[in-house]
Structure 1
Amino acid sequence: MALTMSYLTSMKNVEAIFNSMLSARAPEKFTTRFLEDLGFKSSNDRLFIGVLKALGFIDSNGVPQQRYFDFLDQSQSKRVVAEGIKEAYEDLFNLRKDAQNMSNEEVKNKLKTLTQGQKGDRVIDSMALTFKTLCNYADWTETSPKSIPITNSENKPNDQGKMSTSTTYKSGSTSMELHYNIQIHLPETTNMAVYDAIFQSLKKHLM
């Protein structure tokens, strides 16, 4: 089951804690003491350590992982959080690939199903609010490619059933030509119409 049971009981400091982490060096271990040094001394804030473990920022001992270090790059911080959310709440995203866009009520209903009714309403409420608060902080936009194709792809099958593809890209004042080789395993048959159908389909969908 890929659904974290970690949750917060207060959401007001989520963004502030993330921002404080960005302005501080990663500790050897992310402990309650370190969180207090960042200025968050409430017992409610301590639950954030469990959330960081669920997001893959720190291991079970509080040692920062690669995702923590990736997060410190402010050009991608919120996208890194989104990656962690997808892993921590994988079961939600299996039910709906854009789970981050679900309403709070929808999230609660899904969580009730996923936890098979073993969690009380108060816990489900906190789990849902934690998920929504994290999602609201995260950046869900995909990185846009810097280059766009300016010529059609040319696909040519050869005798071995391989497809060679050539595409030219242009970005600014420079151009770049990329070549792709696609290998196709053809079924054994004496009916050439089967091969003709396969190559016609490839030409239709890969052009």
Structure 2
Amino acid sequence: MALPSSYLTSSKNLAGILNSIVGAQAPEKFTTRFLESLDYKGSADRLVIGLLKSLKFLEDDGRPTKRYYEYLDQTQSTAVLAEAIHEAYTDLFQVNKNAHAMSKADVVNKFKTLSQGQYSESVLGKMGTTFTSLCALADFSSASPAKSESQSNDTDQEENSDDKNAGEESAGNKGNDPKKGLSIGGLVYNIQLILPESRDPKVYDALFESMKKHLS
């Protein structure tokens, strides 16, 4: 199930924390001490660290990832966040490609189905609030949807198949398939042969043998 288990018990400071991250120098490791240095010292605020890990902004040990540094660029931060949300909540976006526009109630209902009763109503509510609060801070109009691993594999297989077909077609032209015409210098010539009337099969054998010799 591609749904993050991390959530916030209160999302009121989420926007402020993310804005502070953009305005601060990236730490060697994102710890509670670093969060406190941004003036967010509440226990509820500390849960954002787990959320940032789910969004692949941080490694498991708290080190900033490439995505974290990309987020620091204010010209693309909202799109980077949208891509991170799309990737973290893959299953939800597979159910509804416009999940970011769903109401909290609809999101909670989908979470309930996707989690198969794994979470209580209270937890599902907080997960729904966390998701909708994140989406409100992201720009999905300019973000490229993240591909799931299975989608990526399917695309690779299609590309390989196209390459194979293209190679076979090219090989066919090189062999001057009579059905496709004679290829010389990149040009294709269709040759029509008018056979003479003759009852002697040796006449036709000689003609086809000559064609094979000169066209192969």
Q: TM-score, normalised by structure 1?
A: 0.69
Distance in 2 separating the partners of 1:126 and 1:185: 55
Give the Cα separation in 1 of the matches to 2:87 and 2:5: 13
Q: Percent identity?
A: 51
Name the structure with the higher strand share.
1
Residue identity opposite 1:61 in structure 2: D
2 CA distance for matches of 1:131 and 1:184?
Answer: 47
2:133 and 2:41 map into 1 onto residues whose CA distance is 20
User: How much has 1:185 moved relative to structure 2?
Assistant: 5.8
Q: Any gaps of 5 or more consecutive residues in structure 1?
A: 144-161, 163-181, 193-207
Counterpart amino acid of residue 11 in structure 2: M
Counterpart residue number, 2:42? 42
* 1:84-123 → structure 2 map (5 Å cutoff): 84-123=84-123
For 2:104 and 2:77, the matched residues in 1 are separated by 24
DSSP-derived class of the 2:124 partner: helix
Which structure shows the bigger proportion of residues in helix conformation? 2
Q: Does residue 82 of structure 1 match 2:82? A: yes
Report the residue type matching 2:32 in the other structure.
T
Q: Deviations over 1:137-157 (max 9, x none)?
A: 0111127xxxxxxxxxxxxxx
Correspondence for 1:157:
none
Instruction: Give the structure 2 partner of residue 126 of structure 1.
Output: 126
Kindly report the root-mean-square deviation, in angstroms, between the aligned alpha carbons of the 2 structures: 2.1
1:103 Cα offset (Å):
1.1
Aligned residues: 152
Structure 2 alignment gaps of length 5 or more? 144-161, 180-216
* Change beyond 3 A, Cα 1:103–1:185: farther
Change (3 A) 1:129 1:185: farther
After TM superposition, give the deviation of residue 184 of structure 1 in Å.
8.0
Match of 2:14 in 1: 14
